[in-house]
Structure 1
Amino acid sequence: MNAISEFAACYHCGQAAVDGARWRVSIGGAPRSMCCPGCAAAAQAIADAGLDDYYGSRTGYAAPAAAGEAPELKLYDEMGLNGDAVFTVEGLRCAACVWLIERRVAALPGVQSALLNVATERLHVRWDAANCRPSDILLALRAIGYTAYPYDATRHGAQLERARKALLRRLFVAGLAMMQVMMYAVPVYLATDGTMDADMKALMGWASFLLTLPAVTYCAWPFMRGAWLDLRRGLPGMDVPVALGILAAFAGSAVSLVRGEGEVWFDSITMFVFLLLGSRWLELDARRKAARALEGLQHAAPATALLLAAWPAPCEAETVAASRLRPGDVILVPPGQTVAADGVILEGRTEIDLALLTGESRTRAIGPGEQLPGGAVNVAQAVTLRVASSAADSTLALLVRLSQRAGQDKPRLARWADRVGAWFVLVLLVLTVAVFAFWRVADPARAWPAAIAVLVASCPCALSLATPTALAAALERLLRHGVLAVKPHVLETLERATHVVFDKTGTLTRGRPELREAVALGMVDGAGCLRIAAALEAGSAHPLAAALREAAAASGAITLKAQDIDNVVGQGVEGEVAGLRYRLGSAAFVAGLAGGLAPPGAGAGATAVWLGGSGRWLARFDLVDALRPEAPALVRALQAKGKTVLLLSGDDEDAVRAVAARLGIRDARGRQLPQDKLDAVRALQAGGAVVAMVGDGINDAAVLGGADVSFAMGQGAQLAQLHADCVLLGEGLAPLEEAIRTASACARVIRQNLGWAMLYNLVAIPAAASGLLNPWLSAIGMTASSALVVLNALRLRRVD
């Protein structure tokens, strides 16, 4: 007894506890011996988190936990991760890992949420910086056997590339072994008339055995290792039935070979391993391409910038680190260079490429006074730029941070798949034991093949992996087309939405007035009146003034100059042009100089700006906020899908009704304050509606947050006011059309994958249990099923 007590097994990892009385942890109300302080800390962490059930449900010991690793992890506390970060977690296999990791991290003091995506291997954690540090999270993961580090696209992409190459080598060896084993297996299958003697058959069997060894020991190692780690953690995942199937078939075949009687399945084993590795390679390639999209964003940010320290005085450009740029600095952006930070052009005209930020393929002309976002590429002439934000707060930097957050939340279907997948393997193992016991009594010769067939035929991949793979493929496609889905429920909820609510200004319209018509009221023609109006408004920043100046410039008219200008806030402007006095503005203001009553006003939906001189009315300018050209088709498409479209705007009722009439929107409401919009959305939700909201992301923050799914027009600095679930990065509403198409396709693919997974398992597992499927047919079915759902998910990258 003393010897047994002294060398009791560690309750956590199973190794010998030389001094079991020294380290003990109370688990399930009973003291348990531990072999070292590392295992004691790991067990105590699991117990303190209320996860004692882990020990009751496990089928194997956990990995030995190393103590004293906190110092190296504390270095991550200096990285500036302030309460919201994404971590890469290595060693993930299936939903069982998700269950343990999410619950362990969520149990840490100060952690507000922890969401793990098994397809992207990313863990998104929000925490209170006063009560939790990044090292606490990493140490908690290390304690339960997972290596993690703050997400870095370059490092993650390199890791995936190394894994892809290693997997490709295993795939090659497995394919070679499969072909060679088939060469020896086929003659045995064909010699059914007794033409092959026992010695020759045994020789073929031993040759197949030797060729199968590399497939089992080297090629199938990822599945063996994954299964072993799952069992040690006490949460068997989808690698467990795969590994058990391979080992059982190999052991059974070896026993039959030694005895000289019974079946051998070396050809089935090598084929199974080859097809499994092929499926795994497709899965890894999908993750690698998804990671490459974000890596491209990070690589696009320039490391340096050309600083003009003495501007506007002539000076040499100094090369400085982009991270040193501060608001107010002036930099030179030569052609071919990516803009390091957001700013305003001071000198020069050029064309910029916004493909990385918005998905647009065409360049855009830009000149002095216009905003230039960080991440844009200057493709024509050098320009001088006054920095408006640091490089860390540029449009590109914000886009990278939002992209890192994307895909961390889970839609309802993915959560359901995680719950089902976590129990699938346990149920399968119980079923395998039951099948073996039944056939052991009914027909002992069929017990072993039937048990192997059940293990091999089962396919939990679609439940635990194909759903997040579909989401990752869809989100990658959206990003390429200028749609940044920060939360993946965007696709699911948009497809289910019954009502779509639009803001007007900046959403359905361009957000900047345009001159619709210049109506001459006196002896001066419309073009002449427009030149006078442009001269009076030459120094104004008002949107209406800008519209008049742009219209005059587009007409190619001779520029006039105004003097003695007097701006009257809320009324208009008065000044002298070519020796004559004019007023431009509201009818009441202009009437003070022109006299009398203004002629009939502008048409519906237009804003009238009047021009008058001494004792005379000269012109009326009808300005409208022009519709986005894609808006009518988008509204019709939504209505054709059975969705109700509403327009809620803070503009005047007449202007809102005019826009609604042109778009065919029946329910349009003007003079809506932000609270009014939120109340309207909540009223719809109270009636059972699923509401999607599309706004400009600034004054619609409240309603964007209150809708079931929301889209922000995310141009330039508007990303900083993001309150939406999704940002439309491109110009206009075209990205929303892409989101609608992708949402429908994604929902269809996920339903197909889950439907196929359920149908396949409902048919294949009973068939294998009843002896209708032998191991090699089960192997083909399982691997074909895995490949099918992954390939089906990857179709989303090419949505028509």
Structure 2
Amino acid sequence: MTQAPSPRKSKTPDDATGNSTALAADAHATASHCEHCGDPLAGLKVVRRRIGATEQSFCCLGCAFIAEQLYLARATSRDLAALDAALGGARRAPDIPAGSALKREQIEVHGMVCAACALLIEHRLRHEPGVASAHVDFGARRAYVAFDPKQSSPAALRRAVETSGYRTSSSAQAERKAHRIELLRVLLAWLAMMQVMMLAIPAYVAAPGDIPRDIEQLLRIAQLVLTVPVLLFSAAPLFRAAASQIRARAIGMDLPIVLGLTAAFAASAHATAIASGATYYDSITMFVALVMGSRWLQARALARAYVHIDAAHRQSTLRARRLRAYPGSMLADDVPAQALAPGDHVVVAPGETVPADGVVARGASTVSQAWLTGEAAPIEVADGAPVLAGSVNLEQPLVLEVTRAGEATSLAALRRLVDDAGRDRPRIVETANRVAVVFLWAVLAVTTLTVAGWWIVDPSQALPNAIAVLVATCPCALSLAAPAALAAVQSALAGRGVLTARVSAIEQLARIDAIATDKTGTLTEAEPALLRTVLLRAGVPANVLAVAAALESLSTHPFARALTRAARAAGVAVPALQGGRVEPSAGVEAVVDGVRLRLGKADYALGIVDAEPAPVTARLLKRLEREKLQAASVIVLADSAGPIALFAFGEALRPDAQAFVDEVRASGIDLLLVSGDRREPVANLARALGIAAPDGGNVFAHQTPDSKRQLVAGMQRAGRVVAMLGDG
């Protein structure tokens, strides 16, 4: 629906005006209309940007950005080098030398038991040489790292993860074995806990002296024997995590747990050795069973969510049919889109997604770039026309020459933008992480003071009270319950086709006070709909619609599908046709009931008229102006006697759009319309739904993905809690 950011530069509305290639001018610019969308520049702050060898004027940064993307799609290597020089290089992280090309790596991480593990790995990765950014997704079990390949390597990054005590690769068989071992840890902990509790009950219920000393000592020894395997096997992940935290000098939640378990076991073992004193074997085994059981349940919920998400990612992987020896041969190999390189030729059949940025080498068709421009109306392409990755070919087969592939495409840049936005942690989360470290240090300090205080008052109570402080103040229960609940929600949503990019957003939904919604595909249907039929001669509208539907049955154009749907909804009988012929990017021609007809663009449809075409065309244009219709969204039905009818298409509101707007406004939440489409259709929709504020300050057109993110981020910095609705 909206465009992807250029992988060669990153700009925001704030810094665009400061760059030598994006200059703001007043409305007295020499150009009178935007070079991209055609909107008048009068009264606007014009954006000028050098596209190729010429400086062009645009109504906004969004149009300038789209024009640049289209230029990049067909630019040569020399053009791109010149553009990079003009931009002065992309902005890099402060610790990365200017001019370095960052590489992105995904590392699968095994062995994480809670969110603190993810923070520890991030801490280690961010301190690796050449690492610009690192994010660890605990739910997806992956680390996402951007680094300078001159200073680091994937192998070095994996070693950093492994040094932290986690695994970075695992075969399916090894993974199944690890899962069985984790389950065995939990089962052993719970089984031992139940046995130890049975052995400990007599000490709780019996009166002093009721149990002989030798039997009491035997009960202690039996509990010790059952507790040792729980600590050595079931609690082993806790001890490993605590050791990693100590090595990394990053205190986590596992350290207080291990200290408490160790202190309790040492005191209990001492009491067993001297055959006197209290033991805490039941508390030790119960705590390990609860912690490991909770983590195992959480891991299962996360694994189910990960299966859904991974399956959805695999389904979304683009494939391409790469021609072996074009133009000498049309034999093609099916390859992943990532395997394409500049200079390759690919064939894109109708209905398929364009796998890489390129230019048309053969063929003519229409493509939908709604994800880039926000407009549902398709655009026409022919030889030499640029086509961006992610576009959908609608009518005729196309042969494209690849100009940018893989991570260099506009689609990949858009995906990186979405990934980066999803991985950004809210400020409150980062603050909570810092506070958690301080809290754990405070717990250790309080524990030390407890030992010292009770040692003065009653030494026999010093250790039990210290253990109580460590166990009672441990935030492990909360840290387990919240991720487990969120993982269950994520799994349920993923099973319904809703992928959660940032799980923390779920808990923010109850606090939102503003919703920024996209237009195409969100408030309106994703495909154009037949809005009006204007008869230019006397006739029955239903009959005219039936004839038009018969003609459009030959085409796969979005307008053809919309007209066919309208005829089906009206219940009209579609007549048979003879001698049908489709003219790419123009229209269709056929004989219906003995009359030869044409349906399509005005110049194509009127080409069948016997009369002088100029006056007929002039009358048609006046009628379009009188009906306030745009020629780009109108097709004409004509025969040899002249035009018969006009069919106007546009975006149709989704059935629940008005109810959604009314419900949001009734709840007191501010609603913003943010679209990549042109200003006029966006404003019309806002008025139709009652979204537009009196000053129009909540309606935004010509928005790019990056400008949408900047808009939302600005509102968040102002203290607003914003939800973005839509795929733009």
Do the structures match in fold with TM over 0.5? yes
Residue number among 541, 559, 574 corresponding to 2:606 in the alignment: 574
Contact 2:139/2:487 (CA < 8 Å) preserved in 1?
yes
Amino acid corresponding to residue 606 of structure 2 in structure 1 = E
SS at match of 2:605: strand
Whether 2:425 is the aligned partner of 1:410: answer: yes
Match of residue 666 from structure 1: 692
What CA RMSD, in Å, does the superposition of the two structures yield over aligned residues? 5.7
Match of residue 178 from structure 2: 163
For 1:644 and 1:605, locate their aligned partners in 2 and report how far apart those are by CA, in whole Å: 35
For 1:165 and 1:398, locate their aligned partners in 2 and report how far apart those are by CA, in whole Å: 40
The structural deviation recorded for 1:596 is 9.5
For 2:646 and 2:564, locate their aligned partners in 1 and report how far apart those are by CA, in whole Å: 15
The structural deviation recorded for 1:442 is 1.0
Whether 2:655 is the aligned partner of 1:637: answer: no
Whether 2:233 is the aligned partner of 1:215: answer: no
Match of residue 137 from structure 1: 157
For 2:705 and 2:110, locate their aligned partners in 1 and report how far apart those are by CA, in whole Å: 48
The C-alpha deviation readout for 1:296-322, integer Å capped at 9, x for no partner, is 3466699999999999xxx99999999
Residue number among 559, 577, 583 corresponding to 1:559 in the alignment: 577
For 2:201 and 2:716, locate their aligned partners in 1 and report how far apart those are by CA, in whole Å: 67
Contact 2:633/2:648 (CA < 8 Å) preserved in 1?
yes
The structural deviation recorded for 1:533 is 5.7
1:488-637 equivalences in 2 (<5 Å): 490-491=505-506, 497-520=512-535, 522-530=537-545, 547-548=562-563, 551=566, 555=572, 556-559=574-577, 562=589, 573-576=605-608, 590=616, 592=618, 601=627, 618-637=644-663
1:715-726 equivalences in 2 (<5 Å): none
For 2:568 and 2:709, locate their aligned partners in 1 and report how far apart those are by CA, in whole Å: 42
SS at match of 1:573: helix
Residue number among 86, 107, 129 corresponding to 1:87 in the alignment: 107
The structural deviation recorded for 1:450 is 1.0
Is the alpha carbon distance of 1:629 and 1:439 closer, same or farther for their aligned partners in structure 2, counting shifts above 3 Å? same
What are the ranges of 5 or more consecutive residues in structure 1 without an aligned counterpart?
1-80, 344-372, 377-383, 693-707, 714-723, 725-800
The C-alpha deviation readout for 1:707-741, integer Å capped at 9, x for no partner, is x765553xxxxxxxxxx6xxxxxxxxxxxxxxxxx
The C-alpha deviation readout for 1:471-493, integer Å capped at 9, x for no partner, is 55444444433344445565567
Match of residue 36 from structure 2: none
Whether 2:462 is the aligned partner of 1:439: answer: no
Q: Normalising by structure 1, what TM-score? A: 0.56
Q: Normalising by structure 2, what TM-score? A: 0.61
Is the alpha carbon distance of 1:308 and 1:191 closer, same or farther for their aligned partners in structure 2, counting shifts above 3 Å? same
Is the alpha carbon distance of 1:251 and 1:310 closer, same or farther for their aligned partners in structure 2, counting shifts above 3 Å? closer
What are the ranges of 5 or more consecutive residues in structure 2 without an aligned counterpart?
1-100, 358-388, 581-588, 591-595
Match of residue 131 from structure 2: 111
For 1:430 and 1:558, locate their aligned partners in 2 and report how far apart those are by CA, in whole Å: 87
For 1:539 and 1:680, locate their aligned partners in 2 and report how far apart those are by CA, in whole Å: 42
For 2:713 and 2:295, locate their aligned partners in 1 and report how far apart those are by CA, in whole Å: 45
For 1:125 and 1:218, locate their aligned partners in 2 and report how far apart those are by CA, in whole Å: 33
Amino acid corresponding to residue 142 of structure 2 in structure 1 = R
Residue number among 171, 178, 182 corresponding to 2:197 in the alignment: 182
The C-alpha deviation readout for 1:417-445, integer Å capped at 9, x for no partner, is 32222233322222112111111111222
Residue number among 478, 497, 518 corresponding to 1:482 in the alignment: 497
For 1:591 and 1:244, locate their aligned partners in 2 and report how far apart those are by CA, in whole Å: 87
The structural deviation recorded for 1:108 is 4.0
SS at match of 2:277: coil
Contact 1:308/1:331 (CA < 8 Å) preserved in 2?
no
1:93-492 equivalences in 2 (<5 Å): 101-118=121-138, 120-141=140-161, 144-147=163-166, 149=168, 155=170, 161-192=176-207, 194-297=209-312, 328=346, 408-461=423-476, 468-469=483-484, 472-487=487-502, 490-491=505-506
For 1:680 and 1:339, locate their aligned partners in 2 and report how far apart those are by CA, in whole Å: 25
The structural deviation recorded for 1:398 is 11
For 1:501 and 1:256, locate their aligned partners in 2 and report how far apart those are by CA, in whole Å: 64
The structural deviation recorded for 1:192 is 0.9
Amino acid corresponding to residue 693 of structure 2 in structure 1 = D
Is the alpha carbon distance of 1:590 and 1:659 closer, same or farther for their aligned partners in structure 2, counting shifts above 3 Å? farther
Identity, % of aligned positions:
34
For 2:530 and 2:441, locate their aligned partners in 1 and report how far apart those are by CA, in whole Å: 70
Is the alpha carbon distance of 1:96 and 1:508 closer, same or farther for their aligned partners in structure 2, counting shifts above 3 Å? closer
SS at match of 1:665: coil
Is the alpha carbon distance of 1:600 and 1:428 closer, same or farther for their aligned partners in structure 2, counting shifts above 3 Å? closer
Amino acid corresponding to residue 184 of structure 2 in structure 1 = R
Amino acid corresponding to residue 456 of structure 2 in structure 1 = V
Q: How many residues align?
A: 568
The structural deviation recorded for 1:128 is 3.3
Is the alpha carbon distance of 1:201 and 1:636 closer, same or farther for their aligned partners in structure 2, counting shifts above 3 Å? same
The structural deviation recorded for 1:119 is 5.3
Match of residue 82 from structure 2: none
The C-alpha deviation readout for 1:231-264, integer Å capped at 9, x for no partner, is 3444343222222222222222232233333222
For 1:82 and 1:158, locate their aligned partners in 2 and report how far apart those are by CA, in whole Å: 34
Whether 2:672 is the aligned partner of 1:646: answer: yes
The structural deviation recorded for 1:88 is 3.2
The C-alpha deviation readout for 1:374-402, integer Å capped at 9, x for no partner, is 9x9xxxxxxx9989899989999999999
Amino acid corresponding to residue 526 of structure 1 in structure 2 = P
Amino acid corresponding to residue 575 of structure 2 in structure 1 = A
Is the alpha carbon distance of 1:175 and 1:504 closer, same or farther for their aligned partners in structure 2, counting shifts above 3 Å? closer
For 2:713 and 2:654, locate their aligned partners in 1 and report how far apart those are by CA, in whole Å: 27
